[in-house]
Structure 1
Amino acid sequence: MKYVILVSHGKFAEGLANALSMLVGKREDIIAVGLEDGKSVDEFAQLFTDTVSKITTDDEVILLGDLIGGSPLTNAVNVLNNKGIKMVVIGGMNLPVALTSVLMKDTFALENLAEQVLQEAHGALREFKIEADDDDDDI
Protein backbone atom coordinates (compact mmCIF):
# COMPACT_ATOMS: atom_id res chain seq x y z
CA MET A 1 0.00 0.00 0.00
CA LYS A 2 1.08 3.59 -0.58
CA TYR A 3 0.53 5.87 2.38
CA VAL A 4 0.41 9.65 2.53
CA ILE A 5 1.82 10.73 5.89
CA LEU A 6 1.43 14.32 7.08
CA VAL A 7 3.75 15.65 9.81
CA SER A 8 3.83 19.11 11.29
CA HIS A 9 4.37 21.39 14.21
CA GLY A 10 1.21 21.61 16.32
CA LYS A 11 -2.11 20.39 14.96
CA PHE A 12 -1.57 21.44 11.35
CA ALA A 13 -1.17 17.85 10.10
CA GLU A 14 -4.37 16.72 11.82
CA GLY A 15 -6.28 19.74 10.48
CA LEU A 16 -5.01 19.09 6.97
CA ALA A 17 -6.04 15.43 7.26
CA ASN A 18 -9.49 16.58 8.35
CA ALA A 19 -9.77 18.87 5.32
CA LEU A 20 -8.61 16.03 3.07
CA SER A 21 -11.31 13.74 4.48
CA MET A 22 -13.92 16.29 3.40
CA LEU A 23 -12.63 16.00 -0.17
CA VAL A 24 -11.66 12.31 -0.50
CA GLY A 25 -13.45 10.65 2.41
CA LYS A 26 -11.99 8.97 5.46
CA ARG A 27 -9.11 6.76 4.32
CA GLU A 28 -6.70 4.45 6.12
CA ASP A 29 -3.86 5.39 3.76
CA ILE A 30 -3.70 8.96 5.16
CA ILE A 31 -1.85 9.33 8.46
CA ALA A 32 -1.29 12.59 10.36
CA VAL A 33 1.05 13.22 13.30
CA GLY A 34 1.93 16.54 14.87
CA LEU A 35 4.59 17.67 17.29
CA GLU A 36 2.34 19.08 20.00
CA ASP A 37 3.30 22.22 21.89
CA GLY A 38 5.18 21.28 25.05
CA LYS A 39 6.20 17.84 23.76
CA SER A 40 9.82 16.93 23.15
CA VAL A 41 11.26 15.78 19.85
CA ASP A 42 11.87 12.37 21.46
CA GLU A 43 8.20 12.15 22.42
CA PHE A 44 7.23 13.01 18.85
CA ALA A 45 9.61 10.37 17.47
CA GLN A 46 8.06 7.73 19.73
CA LEU A 47 4.50 8.79 18.81
CA PHE A 48 5.41 8.72 15.13
CA THR A 49 7.06 5.31 15.48
CA ASP A 50 3.96 3.92 17.18
CA THR A 51 1.64 5.48 14.61
CA VAL A 52 3.48 3.99 11.61
CA SER A 53 4.11 0.59 13.20
CA LYS A 54 1.78 -1.13 10.69
CA ILE A 55 3.80 0.13 7.70
CA THR A 56 6.19 -2.49 6.35
CA THR A 57 8.96 -2.61 3.77
CA ASP A 58 6.34 -3.81 1.26
CA ASP A 59 4.66 -0.40 1.53
CA GLU A 60 5.66 2.98 0.13
CA VAL A 61 5.24 6.41 1.70
CA ILE A 62 4.70 9.92 0.45
CA LEU A 63 5.86 11.95 3.45
CA LEU A 64 4.64 15.54 3.57
CA GLY A 65 5.97 17.97 6.17
CA ASP A 66 5.22 21.55 7.03
CA LEU A 67 8.88 22.67 6.96
CA ILE A 68 11.96 21.28 5.27
CA GLY A 69 14.51 20.75 8.04
CA GLY A 70 11.87 20.97 10.78
CA SER A 71 11.94 18.51 13.66
CA PRO A 72 8.74 16.65 12.69
CA LEU A 73 9.91 16.02 9.13
CA THR A 74 13.51 15.11 9.97
CA ASN A 75 12.42 12.75 12.75
CA ALA A 76 9.80 11.11 10.54
CA VAL A 77 12.40 10.61 7.79
CA ASN A 78 14.77 9.00 10.29
CA VAL A 79 12.11 6.64 11.65
CA LEU A 80 10.96 5.54 8.18
CA ASN A 81 14.53 5.26 6.89
CA ASN A 82 15.51 3.07 9.87
CA LYS A 83 12.56 0.80 9.03
CA GLY A 84 13.77 0.54 5.42
CA ILE A 85 10.62 2.13 4.01
CA LYS A 86 10.70 3.45 0.43
CA MET A 87 9.57 7.07 0.46
CA VAL A 88 9.42 10.39 -1.29
CA VAL A 89 9.63 13.47 0.95
CA ILE A 90 8.09 16.88 0.24
CA GLY A 91 8.31 19.89 2.54
CA GLY A 92 6.02 22.89 2.55
CA MET A 93 2.79 20.93 2.52
CA ASN A 94 -0.55 22.53 1.91
CA LEU A 95 -3.98 21.32 0.84
CA PRO A 96 -3.22 21.26 -2.92
CA VAL A 97 0.00 19.27 -2.32
CA ALA A 98 -1.73 16.81 0.02
CA LEU A 99 -4.78 16.38 -2.21
CA THR A 100 -2.66 15.85 -5.32
CA SER A 101 -0.50 13.33 -3.44
CA VAL A 102 -3.53 11.33 -2.36
CA LEU A 103 -5.16 11.39 -5.80
CA MET A 104 -2.00 10.65 -7.80
CA LYS A 105 -0.14 8.23 -5.51
CA ASP A 106 -1.47 5.13 -7.22
CA THR A 107 -1.03 6.54 -10.74
CA PHE A 108 2.72 7.19 -10.69
CA ALA A 109 5.76 5.26 -9.56
CA LEU A 110 7.22 6.63 -6.34
CA GLU A 111 10.31 7.86 -8.21
CA ASN A 112 8.17 10.13 -10.43
CA LEU A 113 5.54 11.15 -7.91
CA ALA A 114 7.31 14.15 -6.34
CA GLU A 115 7.81 15.84 -9.70
CA GLN A 116 4.18 15.30 -10.66
CA VAL A 117 2.83 16.46 -7.29
CA LEU A 118 5.00 19.58 -7.28
CA GLN A 119 3.97 20.47 -10.86
CA GLU A 120 0.28 20.14 -9.98
CA ALA A 121 0.68 22.00 -6.69
CA HIS A 122 2.61 24.81 -8.35
CA GLY A 123 -0.25 25.27 -10.81
CA ALA A 124 -2.70 25.53 -7.90
CA LEU A 125 -0.85 28.50 -6.39
CA ARG A 126 -2.25 31.67 -7.90
CA GLU A 127 -3.16 35.15 -6.85
CA PHE A 128 -6.90 35.68 -6.61
CA LYS A 129 -7.70 39.07 -8.11
CA ILE A 130 -10.99 40.86 -7.83
CA GLU A 131 -11.59 43.12 -10.76
CA ALA A 132 -13.98 46.01 -10.36
CA ASP A 133 -16.86 46.11 -12.78
CA ASP A 134 -17.78 49.71 -13.55
CA ASP A 135 -21.42 48.75 -14.15
CA ASP A 136 -21.94 46.97 -10.82
CA ASP A 137 -20.69 47.76 -7.33
CA ASP A 138 -21.26 44.18 -6.09
CA ILE A 139 -18.36 41.75 -5.97
Structure 2
Amino acid sequence: MKYLVLVSHGEFAAGLKTSLMMLAGQRDDVIASGLPDGKTADEFAEIFKESVKDIHEDDEIVLLADIVGGSPLTTALNVLAEKGLMEKTTTIGGMNLPLALTSVLMKDTLQGDSFVQAVLSEATTALQEFKVVEDDEDDI
Protein backbone atom coordinates (compact mmCIF):
# COMPACT_ATOMS: atom_id res chain seq x y z
CA MET A 1 0.00 0.00 0.00
CA LYS A 2 1.08 3.58 -0.53
CA TYR A 3 0.37 5.83 2.44
CA LEU A 4 0.00 9.59 2.73
CA VAL A 5 1.49 10.59 6.09
CA LEU A 6 0.96 14.12 7.42
CA VAL A 7 3.14 15.51 10.22
CA SER A 8 3.00 18.91 11.87
CA HIS A 9 3.37 21.02 14.94
CA GLY A 10 0.20 20.87 17.03
CA GLU A 11 -3.08 19.72 15.51
CA PHE A 12 -2.48 20.99 11.96
CA ALA A 13 -1.93 17.49 10.51
CA ALA A 14 -5.09 16.13 12.16
CA GLY A 15 -7.15 19.12 11.02
CA LEU A 16 -5.80 18.83 7.49
CA LYS A 17 -6.69 15.13 7.46
CA THR A 18 -10.25 15.98 8.52
CA SER A 19 -10.58 18.50 5.69
CA LEU A 20 -8.97 16.07 3.25
CA MET A 21 -11.50 13.38 4.16
CA MET A 22 -14.34 15.82 3.45
CA LEU A 23 -13.01 16.25 -0.09
CA ALA A 24 -11.54 12.82 -0.90
CA GLY A 25 -13.77 10.59 1.22
CA GLN A 26 -12.79 8.37 4.12
CA ARG A 27 -9.52 6.59 3.45
CA ASP A 28 -7.37 4.06 5.30
CA ASP A 29 -4.21 5.21 3.54
CA VAL A 30 -3.93 8.63 5.23
CA ILE A 31 -2.19 9.02 8.60
CA ALA A 32 -1.86 12.26 10.57
CA SER A 33 0.45 12.85 13.49
CA GLY A 34 1.21 16.08 15.30
CA LEU A 35 3.78 17.19 17.84
CA PRO A 36 1.64 18.25 20.82
CA ASP A 37 2.43 21.59 22.46
CA GLY A 38 4.81 21.08 25.35
CA LYS A 39 6.06 17.66 24.17
CA THR A 40 9.64 16.97 23.17
CA ALA A 41 10.85 15.53 19.88
CA ASP A 42 11.58 12.26 21.70
CA GLU A 43 8.00 12.12 22.95
CA PHE A 44 6.76 12.84 19.43
CA ALA A 45 8.94 9.99 18.13
CA GLU A 46 6.94 7.59 20.30
CA ILE A 47 3.65 9.09 19.09
CA PHE A 48 4.78 8.86 15.47
CA LYS A 49 6.02 5.26 15.87
CA GLU A 50 2.56 4.30 17.04
CA SER A 51 0.97 6.14 14.08
CA VAL A 52 3.05 4.25 11.51
CA LYS A 53 3.20 0.86 13.22
CA ASP A 54 1.15 -0.78 10.44
CA ILE A 55 3.42 0.45 7.65
CA HIS A 56 5.81 -2.27 6.51
CA GLU A 57 8.88 -2.50 4.30
CA ASP A 58 6.85 -3.40 1.21
CA ASP A 59 4.72 -0.24 1.60
CA GLU A 60 5.47 3.22 0.20
CA ILE A 61 5.05 6.61 1.85
CA VAL A 62 4.36 10.15 0.74
CA LEU A 63 5.35 12.23 3.77
CA LEU A 64 4.03 15.79 3.95
CA ALA A 65 5.23 18.12 6.69
CA ASP A 66 4.26 21.61 7.76
CA ILE A 67 7.82 23.00 7.85
CA VAL A 68 10.99 21.74 6.17
CA GLY A 69 13.55 21.12 8.88
CA GLY A 70 11.02 21.27 11.71
CA SER A 71 11.05 18.81 14.60
CA PRO A 72 8.01 16.83 13.38
CA LEU A 73 9.62 16.25 9.98
CA THR A 74 13.11 15.43 11.21
CA THR A 75 11.72 13.15 13.92
CA ALA A 76 9.42 11.38 11.46
CA LEU A 77 12.34 10.84 9.07
CA ASN A 78 14.44 9.36 11.89
CA VAL A 79 11.64 6.94 12.80
CA LEU A 80 11.13 5.94 9.16
CA ALA A 81 14.89 5.43 8.78
CA GLU A 82 14.87 3.13 11.83
CA LYS A 83 12.11 1.11 10.15
CA GLY A 84 14.11 0.91 6.89
CA LEU A 85 11.49 2.89 4.94
CA MET A 86 13.50 5.84 3.63
CA GLU A 87 14.10 4.40 0.16
CA LYS A 88 10.34 4.16 -0.36
CA THR A 89 9.51 7.60 1.08
CA THR A 90 8.89 10.79 -0.87
CA THR A 91 9.08 13.84 1.42
CA ILE A 92 7.63 17.31 0.80
CA GLY A 93 7.53 20.24 3.23
CA GLY A 94 5.21 23.21 3.38
CA MET A 95 1.98 21.24 3.23
CA ASN A 96 -1.40 22.77 2.48
CA LEU A 97 -4.80 21.38 1.53
CA PRO A 98 -4.27 21.53 -2.26
CA LEU A 99 -0.96 19.67 -1.84
CA ALA A 100 -2.53 17.02 0.38
CA LEU A 101 -5.55 16.58 -1.90
CA THR A 102 -3.46 16.25 -5.04
CA SER A 103 -1.09 13.88 -3.24
CA VAL A 104 -3.82 11.54 -2.08
CA LEU A 105 -5.44 11.51 -5.53
CA MET A 106 -2.20 11.11 -7.52
CA LYS A 107 -0.01 8.98 -5.24
CA ASP A 108 -1.07 5.72 -6.85
CA THR A 109 -0.78 6.91 -10.46
CA LEU A 110 2.46 8.92 -10.57
CA GLN A 111 5.90 8.03 -9.25
CA GLY A 112 9.13 9.83 -8.40
CA ASP A 113 9.85 13.21 -10.00
CA SER A 114 6.61 13.14 -12.01
CA PHE A 115 4.62 12.86 -8.79
CA VAL A 116 6.60 15.59 -7.02
CA GLN A 117 6.32 18.01 -9.95
CA ALA A 118 2.57 17.43 -10.32
CA VAL A 119 1.70 17.93 -6.66
CA LEU A 120 4.00 20.91 -6.16
CA SER A 121 2.57 22.55 -9.25
CA GLU A 122 -0.99 22.15 -7.94
CA ALA A 123 -0.03 23.38 -4.46
CA THR A 124 1.75 26.49 -5.69
CA THR A 125 -0.92 27.32 -8.27
CA ALA A 126 -3.47 27.34 -5.45
CA LEU A 127 -1.49 30.04 -3.63
CA GLN A 128 -2.78 33.36 -4.87
CA GLU A 129 -4.40 36.51 -3.66
CA PHE A 130 -8.17 36.60 -3.86
CA LYS A 131 -9.57 40.03 -4.63
CA VAL A 132 -13.20 40.91 -4.30
CA VAL A 133 -14.38 43.00 -7.23
CA GLU A 134 -17.62 44.85 -6.73
CA ASP A 135 -19.74 45.93 -9.65
CA ASP A 136 -22.44 48.61 -9.73
CA GLU A 137 -25.03 46.26 -8.22
CA ASP A 138 -22.83 45.40 -5.21
CA ASP A 139 -22.52 41.77 -6.32
CA ILE A 140 -19.39 39.86 -5.55
TM-score w.r.t. length of structure 1:
0.94
Note the 1:112-131 alignment, pairs <5 A.
112-131=114-133
Q: Give the letter aligned to residue 129 of structure 2.
A: E
Q: CA deviation at 1:53?
A: 1.1
Q: Deviations over 1:55-88 (max 9, x none)?
A: 1111110000000000001110111122121111
Give the aligned residue type for 1:80.
Answer: L
- What amino acid sits opposite 1:63 in the alignment? L
SS at match of 1:31: strand
Please give the secondary structure, in 2, of the residue aligned with 1:80.
Answer: helix
The whole-number CA distance in structure 2 between the counterparts of 1:136 and 1:50 is 56
For 2:98, the aligned partner's letter is: P
- In the alignment, the residues of structure 2 paired with residue 26 and residue 36 of structure 1 have an alpha-carbon distance, to the nearest angstrom, of 24
Q: Distance in 2 between matches of 1:10 and 1:113?
A: 27
Shift in alpha-carbon separation, 1:25–1:32, aligned structure 2, 3 A: same
Give the corresponding residue for 1:18: 18
Gaps of 5+ in 1: none
Structure-2 separation of matches of 1:44 and 1:108? 31
How far the C-alpha of 1:111 sits from its partner, in A, is 4.4
Which residue does the alignment assign to 1:62? Answer: 62
1:1-139 alignment to 2 at 5 Å? 1-85=1-85, 86-133=88-135, 135-139=136-140
Deviation at 1:42, TM superposition (A): 0.6
**CA distance, structure 1, for counterparts of residue 58 and residue 101 of structure 2:** 23
Please say if residues 12 and 34 of structure 1, whose CA atoms lie closer than 8 Å, have aligned partners that are also in contact.
yes
Contact 1:60 1:110 in 2 (8 A): no
Deviating runs (4+, > 3 A) in structure 1?
none
Contact 1:88 1:111 in 2 (8 A): no
Aligned-residue RMSD, C-alpha? 1.1
Normalised by the length of structure 2, the TM-score is: 0.93
